[in-house]
Amino acid sequence: MPALPNDHHAPHFHVRSVDGYVNDPNGPVHYRGVFHLYFQQVFDTPRTGPVHWGHATSSDLVTWTLHRPALTPSPGTPDEGGCWSGNTVPADDRLYAFYSAFDPANPFQPVRRAESADGFEFTGSVPMVDPPDASESPVQFRDPFVWWHHGRWCMIVGAGLAGDDADGGALGQARLYESSDLTRWSYVGPFASRRRTGEGTDHDTGMMWECPQYAALGEWGVLLVGAWDSHQGITHVLAISGRDQADRLADPGPAVRADQGPNFYAPSVMRDPSGRVLVWGWVTEGRETVASVEADWSGMLTLPRVLTVTGAGEPRWHPPAELAALRDGAVGCVEGPLEDGSSVDVVDVVDVPAQFELDLALTASGTDRDATRVRLVTSGADGAGEPEHLDLLVDWRAGTVAVDRDLASRDPRSHRGTFTITDAVAAAGDEDAEETGAQGRASVRFRLLVDGSVGELFAADQTLTFRFYPQSPPPWTLRVTPGAGGPVDGRVTVWRLRRSVR
């Protein structure tokens, strides 16, 4: 794993199939003492074949074993075009998979259910629910999510309804159905809906909602949806919080991005045996399709992340404690104070692998200072002698942590951009200060896990998922420049991370 063993862009601890195309995670579940993780898989990167459900299992959420596909299309049936997004639920000593049967000519993908005795093979596919009536002006319908909710089984399905002059723009919707037996379903009504806003922006709510997922957290509920557009296709994942009720998400708040990066989509939710809500996503490519076809692989799943809410119901994201088991020894550490104007290599150039974790915790005397930069520098240089590099920037004044990948690759097929986590700088050591700044000390803490060509950044209870493709293979150099404005104290540690998917 993957198809090209010498490809330094390939992941070692993110789940994906051995080769071909991977996208949406589907139905993670803890069943009979084992974590099962399913995902959409096409056997060739140009995607000439139908979608199957790939399959991996784990006992600890870290080490994963790949298996043959668990759900396969059946010729001559409604799912012969592919078994697309959905989820799984255990009931009556069986595991049930709910999914969309793909037909390229039908915008209303039939919702179907298959079942398994062991979680390794699903069979017996049968139809479940019908699309919206034509009187509602539906334009899209797909992606079931089933869960036990307020004493009965519930299913939400993503949909989009056309707007008109009276109603305004298109309507993204999660439609609610209920059942007592996972077989006969009745339509209840919209679980949540929102007219499209922010069209074409980073906060576009989409013309339809796909891959809807839901988690009840105490009195609060969090709905995750993929904002989809008929021209642009996938955009980003939105989180909408409200009061958890039996038939709807009540008093919904603003739609906020679930991930601040450009390469996170198609969330998939499970509740683990301890009650935590875990979420996986699809790590999109961040490069042109021709580059993925040339590499003969595309896509992977994110690491699991823990979803919680604040007392006001605002979603928060955290790395699960289990990820520490990926560490295979610290390869370097720099401890402050780092002096104004200095530049310090965390480890020697021979020691930074393509799989590593960066753990940074820094404190400054205040925020009226220049940015602190952590730069990942490759060993290669372009014609002008400038090496490829990825920058992480702590902007003390703005209170942000940013990822700048504009110069991370000399390959013009690799995507560029700068992406930001806000509210990342906190007040430290001055309880009387009214705000972060020169009145008191300021601190920042983040963790970055890099796996070949993917980075997952955790900071200030937020996440940022991005891809980058340096042409020069490791070893790389990690360099810290504190910036002008006085010394920066703290610690920067780099850990080597092990291969964990086989």
Name the residue ranges covered by the structural domains of the chain.
Answer: 129-258, 327-497
Give the model's pLDDT for residue 435.
43
Give the model's pLDDT for residue 432.
37
Q: How far, in Å, CA of 69 to CA of 40, rounded?
A: 9
3-state SS string over 454-484?
A: EEEEEECCEEEEEECCCCCCCCEEEEEECCC
CATH 2.60.120.560 holds for 327-497: yes
Give the model's pLDDT for residue 501.
97
DSSP for 225-268, please give it: EEEEETTTEEEEEEEEEEEE-SSSEES---EEES-SSSSEEEEE
Pick the closest to residue 112 from 129, 88, 95 (CA basis).
129
Contact 157/141 with Cβ under 8 angstroms?
yes
Q: Environment class of residue 325 by beta-carbon count within 10 Å: exposed (0-12), middle (13-18) or buried (19+)?
A: middle
Give the model's pLDDT for residue 440.
78
> Is the peptide bond prior to 475 cis by the omega test (within 30 degrees of 0)?
yes
Q: Which residue has the tokens 């079942």?
A: 115
Q: How far, in Å, CA of 324 to CA of 316, rounded?
A: 20
Give the model's pLDDT for residue 221.
98
Give the model's pLDDT for residue 177.
98
Name residue 475's amino acid: P
Task: Tell me the pTM.
Answer: 0.94
Q: How far, in Å, CA of 183 to CA of 188, rounded?
A: 15
Q: What is the CATH number of domain 129-258?
A: 2.115.10.20
Same CATH fold assignment for domains 129-258 and 327-497: no
Give the model's pLDDT for residue 5.
63
Q: What are the 10-residue block averages of pLDDT along the chain, 502 residues in total?
A: 71 95 97 98 91 98 98 95 97 97 93 98 97 92 98 98 73 97 98 94 93 98 96 94 98 97 98 98 97 95 98 98 94 85 64 88 94 87 73 97 97 98 85 46 96 98 98 88 91 94 95
Q: Environment class of residue 201 by beta-carbon count within 10 Å: exposed (0-12), middle (13-18) or buried (19+)?
A: exposed
Contact 374/352 with Cβ under 8 angstroms?
no
Give the model's pLDDT for residue 476.
85
Give the model's pLDDT for residue 33.
97
- Return phi, psi of residue 349, to 5°: -60, -25
Contact 270/253 with Cβ under 8 angstroms?
no
